[in-house]
Amino acid sequence: MYKSAVLASLSLLSLVSGQQAGTSTSETHPRLTWQDCSGGSCKNVNGEVVLDSNWRWAHVKDGYTNCYTGSEWNATVCPDNASCAKNCAIDGADYGGTYGISTSGNSLTLKLVQKHEYGTNVGSRVYLMESSSKYKMFNLINKEFTFDVDVSKVPCGVNGALYFVEMTADGGMNKGQNKAGAKYGTGYCDAQCPHDIKWIAGEGNVDGWQPSSDDENAGVGKYGTCCPEMDIWEANSMGAAYTPHPCSTSGGPYRCEGTECGDVGGDRYAGVCDKDGCDYSHYRLGDQAYYGSTVNVQSKFTVVTQFLGSGSNLNEIRRLYKQGGSVIENSVVAVDGVEAYDSITDQMCEDVKVAFGDNNHFKQLGGLNEMGASLARGHVLVMSIWVDFYAHMLWLDSTYPTDADPSKPGAARGACDTSSGDPVDVIANQPDSTVTFSNIKFGAIGSTYK
C-alpha cells in the first residue's frame, strides 16, 4: 500500500542506472521456467528474468566514472536530466554475486542483503521476460495466476512481493535517450508514483534530486512514474495482502509532477493513482488466525488468484491456497456491519472502506472497472524483495497508523510490533531474509492448481 521502491547499492562503484547500455559486464538473464496452461494442458515456457535498471551501476558512457554514487548524481556529467541520460550507461549485472538473485528450473530466490566486492546490495526487483529484450505481457482477465511461495524466511518489515504493473513491453526503448530498454530493466512504474526512480522516459530524474535522509542508497527526484498496479502478493511470514490499485493513466509509465503524483501530505488522494488500493488482507479483514495457522507459513504453499470477468471487464478477484495437496478456501471477512465477503468486488471495497473509515479513492478512480481496462491492455510481472524506509512495512504486518487503537476496525494488519521493520535493524540483523517464488502457472480459471 505504501510501497516505495527501495534501492540497493555498491559503495565504491555505486549502483546507478543510465540510459545507454554499458559493456563492462555482459547482461545474462537468469533462466526461469514457468507454465502456460491456457491450451487445456500446462506447457513449460523457457523464460528469463531481468534486474530493474535502478539497481545497476551507471557510469559515464566511455569510462568508469560513476554517474551516480550513493544517493547523489555527479553534476558534471548530469547537469540536467537529458544530458545525464545521454552521457551515462547502465551496465550488465552479476545477478548472484552482486544482487543475491538466483534461479533454478522454475524457482527464483531473492535475498535481501548481499555483500559483494564493492559493498552491500539491499533488495532487488526483477521482471519476467518473453525474449531477451521484451517483457512478457499478461492479460489476467478471466484467467488464473498461480505460484508457490516460501515466506518462512521473510520476517517483520520485509516484503517478498509478486505483482503486475502496466509497463510497456520494450521498457520505453528509444524514448528520450533510452538505448538500454527492457534488456536492462528500464521503464518501471507503479501506483505509488515513485520518485526514487533514476531514469524516467529516457531521462535522468536529476532535476530537484534530493538524497534520502535515511536510505544511503536512494533519493527522490522532481518526477514520479505512475501506472496501474495489481498486487497479487505483498507478504512476509506475518501478513499477506492482494490489492488492485487503478490509476487514471494508461499506456505505460506516466511521468507525474506536483499534485498529480499524490505525494505524502495533503495530496495523497489528489493524485492520478489509487495509492491505498482495495486490499484483501486476511488479518486486517478480521481473520487473525488464518494466515499462519490455516495456511502454514513455515512451509511452502500455492497461491491461486482468479480474475473473474470478460473482455476488459473485471468483476471479482478471488483467492485460494493449496498446501499439502489440499485446497484452502479464502478467509472470510469478519468486520462489524460488513457482509461475510470472501473476495474483492466493488461492493466489498465500498463496505469495508466505510467500516474502516478509509477514503474510497479506489472507487473515485473507477474501481475494478478501471483496473480491468488496465489489465486488458497488458501488464508485466514483477517479483521483488524490499524494506520500507518510509513506513517500516507496518501497513502490512503491524498496527498502522501506529498510534491507532489496535481494536479499531482496520487498524491491526498483523502481529508485528509497531517498533519493528526499521530497515536499519532489518538489514543489520536479518540480512539473510529470503523469498522464493516457484512453479508459476497462468491459464484458464481452474487450470493451474487441480
Ligand X SMILES: *[C@@H]1O[C@H](CO)[C@@H](O)[C@H](O)[C@H]1NC(C)=O
Residues that bind ligand X (CB under 6 A): 60, 65-66, 74, 76-77, 80-82, 207
C-alpha to C-alpha distance for 8 and 15, rounded to whole angstroms: 7
C-beta of residue 102 within 8 angstroms of C-beta of residue 30: yes
Pairing status of strand 113-116 against strand 434-444 = unpaired
C-alpha to C-alpha distance for 288 and 317, rounded to whole angstroms: 21
C-alpha to C-alpha distance for 187 and 137, rounded to whole angstroms: 14
Of 96, 111, 95, 107, the residue nearest 433 (C-alpha)? 111
Is 130 an annotated catalytic residue? no
C-beta of residue 336 within 8 angstroms of C-beta of residue 325: no
- Least distance to ligand X from the beta carbon of 222, Å? 8
Closer CB to ligand X, 255 or 363, in the complex: 255
- Least distance to ligand X from the beta carbon of 92, Å? 21
C-beta of residue 100 within 8 angstroms of C-beta of residue 114: yes
Backbone angles phi, psi at 264, to 5 degrees: -50, 145
Of 245, 251, 304, the residue nearest 273 (C-alpha)? 245
Closer CB to ligand X, 81 or 237, in the complex: 81
- Least distance to ligand X from the beta carbon of 59, Å? 9
- Least distance to ligand X from the beta carbon of 223, Å? 7
* Choice among 48, 229, 260, 370 that is catalytic: 229
- Least distance to ligand X from the beta carbon of 215, Å? 20
* Choice among 27, 166, 203, 234 that is catalytic: 234
Closer CB to ligand X, 254 or 341, in the complex: 254
- Least distance to ligand X from the beta carbon of 189, Å? 15
- 144: CB partners within 8 A, 6+ apart: 37, 304, 305, 306, 307, 441, 442, 443, 444, 445, 446, 447, 448, 449
Pairing status of strand 20-21 against strand 88-90 = parallel
C-beta of residue 292 within 8 angstroms of C-beta of residue 258: no
C-alpha to C-alpha distance for 242 and 57, rounded to whole angstroms: 32
Closer CB to ligand X, 85 or 440, in the complex: 85
C-alpha to C-alpha distance for 360 and 51, rounded to whole angstroms: 34
Closer CB to ligand X, 11 or 293, in the complex: 11
- Least distance to ligand X from the beta carbon of 399, Å? 40
Closer CB to ligand X, 53 or 69, in the complex: 69
C-alpha to C-alpha distance for 263 and 270, rounded to whole angstroms: 9
Closer CB to ligand X, 76 or 104, in the complex: 76
Closer CB to ligand X, 51 or 67, in the complex: 67
Is 350 an annotated catalytic residue? no
Give the angle subtended at the CA of 220 by the CAs of 217 and 225, to the nearest 5°: 115
Cis peptide upstream of residue 401 (ω within 30 degrees of 0)? yes
Closer CB to ligand X, 172 or 378, in the complex: 172
* CA dihedral of residues 168, 17, 107, 326 (deg, nearest 10): -60
How far from 279 is each of 78, 226, 289, 309, CA to CA, in Å? Answer: 40, 19, 18, 19
- Least distance to ligand X from the beta carbon of 369, Å? 31
C-beta of residue 233 within 8 angstroms of C-beta of residue 163: yes
- Least distance to ligand X from the beta carbon of 255, Å? 7
- 188: CB partners within 8 A, 6+ apart: 5, 52, 53, 54, 125, 165, 167, 194, 197, 225, 253
Active site residue ranges: 229, 234
